[in-house]
Amino acid sequence: RGRVLRPRRDPPGRGSAEVVATSERYAVRRLPFARLGDSDVAFFERVMPGRVVTGEEEVKPFNVDWLKSVRGCSQLVLKPQTTAEVSQVLRYCHERNLAVTPQGGNTGLVGGSVPVFDEIILSTALMNRIISFDKVSGILVCQAGCVLERLNEYLEEQGFIMPLDLGAKGSCHIGGNVATNAGGLRLLRYGSLRGTVLGLEVVLADGSALDCLASLRKDNTGYDLKQLFIGSEGTLGVITAVSILCPQKPKAVNVAFLGCQSFAKVLETFTTCRAMLGEILSAYEFMDEKCMELVERHLKLSSPVTGSPFYVLIETSGSNSTHDEEKLNNFLEQATASGLVTDGTVATDDKKIKASHLRERITEALTHDGYVYKYDISLPVGKLYDLVTDMRVRLGRSARNVVGYGHLGDGNLHLNVTSESYSHSLLDAIEPFVYEWTARCSGSISAEHGLGFKKKQFIQYSKPSEAVALMQRFKAMLDPKGILNPYKTLPSAP
């Protein structure tokens, strides 16, 4: 369903398209990389016997993104288990000029984790070993293919948690999280991966391994090279291991689900919430009533609070349940008495807290509503919902639903437009309007999803040309042949 990018023609050889597109907007021509041959497959089989996938049906799931909106033509998936194997693969591909697409859990939303043409898929699925954990410092060192939820479960047994939490936690890999600089639900409390990641092990395009897997919180010796790879979306190197600072598991967690009559009330509630809850505030999420309608209609889940145009989910995390509950109750009393909140409920035990996390199911509900146009925007908090309102007016009945939700504490709006099926005219009505609108407010066209394949040509709405040119110079220096995740993140040359 939707805009699946299909090859127009297959040239001779092991097959891949010269041009892939359904519109000029996404047109891209295959770069002059080498074609995969039988001798190449034989080499990889020798390097990692039994972990080379070549069957058409077996490769198919790796070629399609989670949204089923983009599809590549790869004929080979490699599953290394060690950094040494990744080095051998990339050294060989660099010498042969074979393009490579690194892939973690393949949960990305901008087409960055699947090939565009016949790139070799380098999966980190079997690189899932926890290397070490220090209970004193809270520093975890693990391979890049560890699933986020499994890491969190391991840490909880030690009295800690991951600083990152995502709706895709059951599938996404920590290496992919770092490569895309994923944000998520805990960023308000614990900050971004740029602060919590202490070190990385990365294999460069020529196969050389860069060991910057530090376990130090303070290290002021030269350039902080790991920052180059955080958020680089696999275009500068393949992350093979991560060192990350993990906070202690909160002893007391409370969740409040509230109803507000306007977005102005949502903003005022946030100001009051931040002032009164202070150090125990860990998440402040908002969603509009359309989101809740879709969750109820498509997933048959009922909201604990109904009848409001906007809803707010507040999470607190602390070390003293009595203290935290008292602060939360005082906040709720004031918010209700002042008319900021018209209805609400509080959950303090695990079962009720899980039931109240409807926010995490919105993405799933949207996929059942038709084709989804997804936008991940950073804006000044006061203007966050204006874009949703303007988009509804602009699109009118040409869209089935226009909804807005997101991490209000981080100024991150998830704007989603649904329609019965993919429509080129509807896309033209959305883009570049959504990016122009965001640029006028000095926002970012991608708050946490990255640029991938779908947004790379729009980077100029968030970055000046000088910055883009410098990024291209970094790319050329670290990957001179351009074999790592080509056609992604940076705009194509004119």
| 252-441 is a CATH 3.30.70.2190 domain | yes
Tell me which fold the domain 22-123 belongs to: 3.30.43
Q: What is the residue-averaged pLDDT of the chain? A: 91
What is the Rg, in whole angstroms, of the alpha carbon atoms belonging to the chain? 23
Minimal CA–CA distance to 309: which of 293, 325, 328, 296? 293
Q: What mean pLDDT do residues 51-69 have?
A: 92
- What pLDDT score was predicted for residue 11? 36
> Is pLDDT above 60 for 154?
yes
Which residues touch 122 (CB under 8 Å, ≥6 apart)? 78, 80, 86, 89, 90, 100, 101, 102, 103, 238
> Is pLDDT above 80 for 14?
no
Q: What mean pLDDT do residues 121-146 have?
A: 97
Minimal CA–CA distance to 429: which of 462, 391, 459? 391
- What pLDDT score was predicted for residue 348? 72
* Residue in the structure block whose two tokens are 């003293």: 320
Tell me the β-bridge partners of 406: 286, 413
- What pLDDT score was predicted for residue 1? 32
Burial tier of 378 (Cβ tally within 10 Å: 0-12, 13-18, 19+):
buried
CA 23/CA 5 separation, integer angstroms: 9
What percentage of the chain exceeds 70 in pLDDT?
93
> Is pLDDT above 80 for 492?
no
> Is pLDDT above 80 for 31?
yes
CA 331/CA 273 separation, integer angstroms: 7
Element of type H or E holding 320 = none
- What pLDDT score was predicted for residue 184? 85
What percentage of the chain exceeds 90 in pLDDT?
79
> Is pLDDT above 90 for 9?
no
> Is pLDDT above 60 for 443?
yes
CA-based torsion, 206, 211, 217, 222: positive or negative: negative
Task: For 130-245, give the CATH class.
Answer: alpha beta
Q: With bands split at pLDDT 50, 70 and 90, how would you rate the model's confidence at 68? A: confident
Which residues touch 120 (CB under 8 Å, ≥6 apart)? 36, 74, 76, 77, 78, 89, 93, 98, 99, 100, 101
> Is pLDDT above 80 for 247?
yes
> Is pLDDT above 90 for 25?
no
pLDDT in tens, 333-390: 999 999 999 988 888 766 556 655 677 889 889 999 999 999 999 999 999 999 999 9
Residue ranges of domains in the chain: 22-123, 130-245, 252-441
> Is pLDDT above 90 for 214?
no
Helices (H), 180-312: 187-190, 193-196, 226-229, 263-277, 289-299
Minimal CA–CA distance to 348: which of 324, 319, 377? 324
Number of H helices, E strands in the chain: 17, 18
Q: How far apart are the first and last CA of the chain?
A: 31
- What pLDDT score was predicted for residue 301? 86
Q: What mean pLDDT do residues 91-107 have?
A: 97
CA 393/CA 93 separation, integer angstroms: 50
